[in-house]
Amino acid sequence: MSAPETPARKGFWSTLPGILTAVGGVIAGIATLLQAFHSVGLISPTKPTAVPPTSASVVALATVPPGAAPTTQPTPSGLLFADDFADPQSGWYLEVSPDSERSYQNGELRISVFKPNWDAWSYSGHFDDLADLSIEVDARRVEGPARCDYGILVRMQDDATSFYTFAITSDGTYSVQISRGDEWIKLVDWTASDALRQGALVNHLRVECEGAHLAFLANNRLLTELDDKTCAQGDVGLIAGTFDDAGAVVAFDNLRVWKLR
């Protein structure tokens, strides 16, 4: 048998409807008073704080903690292309010039840059409309200055000068940029990460593209991801560059390109 309810509790519940009615009347009175003040200009609605617009193409940009997983988990649906660069006829763009050299050497694709503050790249020649993909490659600095950069190109357009670049430096930073002809647009400025192996050690680089969403990884750790619609499709490539000191030589191996579904 349950204990009987105390008189004090009964008194509270019996008076609750009256209390709620009184509170409702006070709220209604306050609302009427505020409306009257607004009508005569004594108060005005708060204006929202202006938010600076983003760039025309980048709609989201985030640098994520080392070791985090991509916000999306694209699934490779099939290997489209693989190259260990053992065959000098596998199709990559090659050139020797006073500024740079692209060549097959010792089972690797090598890019040498002879000029300071210069970039040179090669492209596969196998794709012109590849949009949703995952590309990975092993890359290392072979010789040259202590600080150089190298990385992956994706969605390269027909002119071979419009593409996304994911590059790292041999002293442990990374960046993401868009090349538009003679213009470079930084989406992620040079940022240090302990996920990157410095010096002449091999770094395993990966870029995942699915629609407008792009994710950039090194040694199986996500460095950053962003949304951008500038380049929708195209070829893949590899890049190496110098800063103030010339003479960088970078080698690439074990490239894989996967189709994402």
Please write the tens of the pLDDT for every residue from 121-140. Answer: 999 999 999 999 999 999 99
Give the DSSP letter of residue 32: H
Q: How far apart are CA 143 and CA 187, in angstroms?
A: 28
d(CA 82, CA 74): 19
Q: How far apart are CA 126 and CA 80, in angstroms?
A: 10
Q: Tell me the H-state helices in the chain.
A: 7-39
User: Which residue carries 């916000």 as its tokens?
Assistant: 71
What is the domain range of residue 252?
Answer: 58-260
Is 89 within a domain?
yes
Residue 72 included in any domain: yes
**Rounded average pLDDT over 48-76:** 41
Of all residues in the chain, the percent with pLDDT exceeding 70 is 70
CATH code assigned at 246: 2.60.120.560
The pLDDT score that the predictor gives to residue 191 is: 98
Mean pLDDT confidence for 57-65: 43
Q: Are 194 and 203 in contact (CB under 8 A)?
A: no
pTM for the structure as a whole: 0.73
Instruction: At 241, list the tokens.
Output: 């560059």
Sign of CA dihedral 190, 124, 101, 249: positive
| Partner residues linked to 225 by β-bridges | 62, 215
| Statement: residue 231 has pLDDT above 50 | yes
Q: How far is CA 33 from CA 6, 124, 137, 251, in A?
A: 41, 72, 69, 75
Tokens of 177: 């940029």
Nearest to 108 by CA among 79, 81, 138, 153: 138
Task: State yes or no: pLDDT of 21 exceeds 80.
Answer: no
Number of domains in the chain: 1
Instruction: Say which range, 75-84, 154-163, 174-183, 184-193, has the weakest mean pLDDT.
Output: 75-84
Half-sphere exposure of 82 (CA within 13 A, CB side): 4
Q: What local confidence, expressed as pLDDT, does residue 159 receive?
A: 83
Q: What is the mean pLDDT of the chain?
A: 80
The predicted pLDDT at position 45 comes to: 34
Token pair of 57, please? 């193409």
How many residues make up the chain in this entry?
Answer: 261
pLDDT, tens digit, for every residue of 10-19?
344 344 445 4
Interstrand relation of 108-113 and 148-156 (parallel, antiparallel or unpaired): unpaired
The answer to the question of residue 22 being in a domain is no
| Residue 111 confidence (pLDDT) above 60 | yes
Determine, yes or no, domain membership for 14. Answer: no
Domain annotation covers residue 135 = yes
> Which CA distances in Å does 134 have to 75, 78, 152, 169, 219?
9, 10, 11, 21, 14
